[in-house]
Amino acid sequence: MIQRLILLSEKPSGQFPDTFHHMLTRAGLHVLKKLASEEIQPKGEADAIVLAIPVDRLTEYHPSKDLPLLWCCDGRDPHQLSVKHFSPPDGLLFPGMDANQIHWALRFSAERHQRRLRLARENERLTRKLEERKWIDQAKGILCQAKSLSEPEAYQLLRKHAMNERRRIADVAASIVNVYQLLDDKK
């Protein structure tokens, strides 16, 4: 549950950041105001970060991937905004939101943040698997050529060798490919 927020702005005070500061404190949240140039300690100081900065400057700020990120929207028509290469925040806050709306926005933002982290981990895992698959396929091709084996036989040889050495099949495959490239470069 989000209770402590860092309100990040470009100016220490001003109508826009102050409006959101008052709105968030009235909702019963602990709000720490910081300048965008200050250091942020992820997971130590707060449960989420709220950006009170103009939309055209959003791409310049990447405060933390460890905390949910919300943006204080100034209410302009989103179709008029052109922000390129911008990863959307986990949530939005608007002027005039009541405490209940703020708490729902924070709850949905926290859930979206957790989902985004899970998807990023899954993406890393699948990318790693794909890379391993490439090593295995290359090693199978080398074994097929060098030992005149069929593809299933080459895979079984890789698998058996990996089990005998108590190594992952991808590691054995990478070793075969690296040695083959080393020998091939010497020709």
Q: pLDDT at residue 159 above 90?
A: yes
Check whether domain 125-185 has CATH 1.10.150.120, yes or no: no
What confidence score (pLDDT) does residue 162 get? 95
> Tens digits of per-residue pLDDT, 17-67?
788 888 999 999 998 888 766 666 656 778 898 888 877 677 677 666 788
| Cβ neighbours around 123 below 10 Å, total | 10
User: How many Å separate Cα 7 from the centre of its chain?
Assistant: 21
* CATH 3.40.50 residue window(s) in the chain: 4-97
Element housing 124 (H / E): helix 99-147
pTM: 0.72
* CATH 1.10.10.10 residue window(s) in the chain: 125-185
Q: What topology does CATH give the domain 4-97?
A: Rossmann fold (3.40.50)
Buried b (16+ CB within 10 A) or exposed e, 81-118: eeeeeeeebbbebeeebeeeebbebbeebbebbeebee
